[in-house]
């Protein structure tokens, strides 16, 4: 059986989203997936990044660890998992810029039928995690992806996360995702990988049909 290929493309400025992304990768790898972890790049200038302590430094450190996502990464993947901090109740412009850059491959039909799943982080409890993830569902639908929600299909979801995807409340970036939050994220990775592996043909089948 071919390994499912999963792109995890996220934006994170203070590391909450990065921690969720790493846990999703861990869960997906445990389900035998091949992973590309990618961080969307800044779209605001250095003057905006200098307005909050630690933003510029954290962004530079993460950019050392992860390449920027490309349209080829999305074409390569069987499943695309998108992560974003809540920005005024919706998706961060940095991740949206990556998504908008997928227009060309979308137009060629190269994303149609892949899986899509989402995760995110907000500062406050009712600060917009769910509206942000649901706004990304619109994007997944337009790209022609098959949306993979979490529902309440795992015990971890009774303690953290949402039915729409893994989430975290950072309380003004003073907290880091704990074991309950990370358990949901690991489950999300495992679930996406497991469903993807059911949808891709085995190597033998692919050779038969000339794929
Ligand atoms: C411009 C901007 C807008 C934001 N809007 C919201 C918001 O509407 N609700 C909220 O709870 N947090 C909001 N936040 C806070 C982030 O969503 C929060 O700090 C998040 O945990 C950051 O994730 P990260 O550590 O992955 O960067 C905003 C932050 C910025 C910079």
pLDDT tens for each residue of 103-131: 999 999 999 999 999 999 999 999 999 99
Q: Is the C-beta atom of 16 inside 6 A of ligand 1? A: yes
Query: What is the rounded distance in angstroms from the CA atom of residue 55 to the CA atom of residue 34?
Result: 30
Q: How far is the CA of 157 from the centre of ligand 1 (A)?
A: 22
Q: Please check the confidence at residue 99 and state whether its pLDDT lies above 90.
A: yes
Name which residue sits closest to atom 29 of ligand 1, judged by CA.
87
Q: How far is the CA of 100 from the centre of ligand 1 (A)?
A: 21
Output the pLDDT for position 209. 55
Q: Is the C-beta atom of 87 inside 6 A of ligand 1? A: yes
Q: How far is the CA of 158 from the centre of ligand 1 (A)?
A: 24
Q: Is the C-beta atom of 89 inside 6 A of ligand 1? A: yes
Q: Using a CB cutoff of 8 Å and minimum separation of 24, what contacts does 174-183 make? A: 176/15, 176/16, 176/19, 177/16, 177/19, 177/20, 177/23, 180/156, 181/20, 182/19, 182/20, 182/23, 183/156, 183/159
Output the pLDDT for position 2. 83
Q: What is the mean pLDDT of residues 62-71?
A: 98
Instruction: Work out the end-to-end distance of the chain between its first and last CA atoms, rounded to an integer number of angstroms.
Output: 14
- The ligand 1 atom at the shortest distance from the C-alpha of residue 122 is 17
Q: What is the DSSP string of 79-144?
A: EEEEEEE-BTTB--HHHHHHHHTTHHHHHTT-STT-EEEEEEEESSTTSSHHHHHHHHHHHHHHHT
Q: How many helices (H) and strands (E) does the chain have?
A: 9, 6
Q: Is the C-beta atom of 120 inside 6 A of ligand 1? A: no
Q: Is the C-beta atom of 12 inside 6 A of ligand 1? A: yes
Q: Is the C-beta atom of 127 inside 6 A of ligand 1? A: yes
Output the pLDDT for position 186. 98
Domains of the chain: 5-210 (3.40.50.360)
């Amino acid at each position: 059986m071919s390994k499912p290929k999963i792109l995890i493309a996220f934006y994170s400025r203070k590391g909450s989203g990065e921690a969720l992304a790493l846990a999703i990768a861990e869960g997906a790898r445990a389900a035998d997936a091949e992973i590309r972890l990618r961080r969307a790049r800044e779209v605001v200038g250095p003057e905006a990044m200098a307005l909050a302590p630690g933003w510029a430094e954290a962004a530079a450190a993460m950019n050392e660890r992860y390449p920027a996502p490309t349209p080829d990464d999305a074409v390569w993947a069987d499943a695309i998992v998108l992560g974003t901090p809540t920005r005024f109740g919706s998706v961060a412009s940095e991740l949206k810029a990556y998504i908008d850059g997928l227009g060309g491959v979308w137009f060629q039909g190269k994303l149609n039928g892949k899986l899509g799943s989402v995760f995110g982080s907000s500062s406050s409890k009712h600060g917009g995690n769910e509206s942000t993830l649901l706004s990304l569902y619109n994007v997944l639908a337009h790209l022609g992806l098959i949306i993979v929600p979490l529902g309440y299909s795992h015990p971890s979801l009774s303690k953290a996360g949402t039915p729409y995807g893994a989430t975290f409340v950072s309380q003004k970036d003073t907290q880091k995702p704990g074991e309950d939050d990370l358990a949901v994220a690991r489950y999300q990775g495992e679930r996406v990988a497991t469903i993807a592996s059911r949808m891709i043909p085995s190597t033998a089948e692919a050779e038969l049909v000339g794929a």
